[in-house]
Structures are given as C-alpha cells and as structure tokens.
Amino acid sequence: MRLRPTADGGWRLPFHPQDTIASEQATHGVHWADWTSTDCPALFVLARNSQVMPPEQGREIVARRAHTHLTELDGDHFVHTTDPQGFAAAVKDFLDTLR
C-alpha cells in the first residue's frame, strides 16, 4: 500500500478506511439473485490457494450462472499479482471467445 503526502507534510492512505469497511460489508449476505439475473458472458478466475474463497465455493458460483467461464490458477486470492501471466492469459483467452 502506498501512502500519499499531504499538504502539511504528513502522510495518509490513498483511500478512506471506512470505504474499505463498507465495501467488505457489502459482500455479506445472499446475492444469488443478483448473480443469476443476467447471462452475459463472464469470466470467473479461481485462485486454487485462496485464503478467502474455497475452490468448491468458486465452482458453485460458476455452476449457478449460465455463460460463466471458469479458469483456475495456482496462487492466492490476489492471483492477478501472484500469477500475472496466467491471469493475463486467462483474460485474453476469455475475451477472444467474445469476438
């Protein structure tokens, strides 16, 4: 995380901590109706070593929604940083299917 300098010579976070808390709290609850309300193509990148989401849960999410493509990568929950090449290839391959 990078701190930002302030006009008075101090430092601050580049976001308001309460926004992070609110964002995390919005993930709580049952959201199946929202997730399944559309069938537009979607890519779900599952990190096999995620500390946040067990692989079985990710596979269930994909199974419940039409036209959702699953890509599994080794890495932790931040798989876009632990396997950037794999993540980029997955996104490219998915986007190529939309042509």
Average pLDDT over residues 10-26: 90
| In the predicted structure, residue 22 carries a pLDDT above the cut 70 | yes
Q: Which residue has the tokens 């976070």?
A: 13
Q: What is the DSSP string of 44-80?
A: EEEETT-SSS-HHHHHHHHHTSTTEEEEEESS-TTHH
**Segment holding 5, helix H or strand E:** strand 4-5
d(CA 75, CA 24): 21
Helix (H) or strand (E) holding 12: strand 11-12
What pLDDT does residue 1 have?
60
Q: Give tens-digit pLDDT for 30-89.
A: 999 999 999 999 999 999 999 999 999 999 999 999 999 999 999 999 999 999 999 999
What band does 14 get if pLDDT is binned at 50, 70 and 90?
Answer: confident
Q: What is the mean pLDDT of residues 2-15?
A: 91
Closest CA to 42 of 77, 72, 67, 59: 67
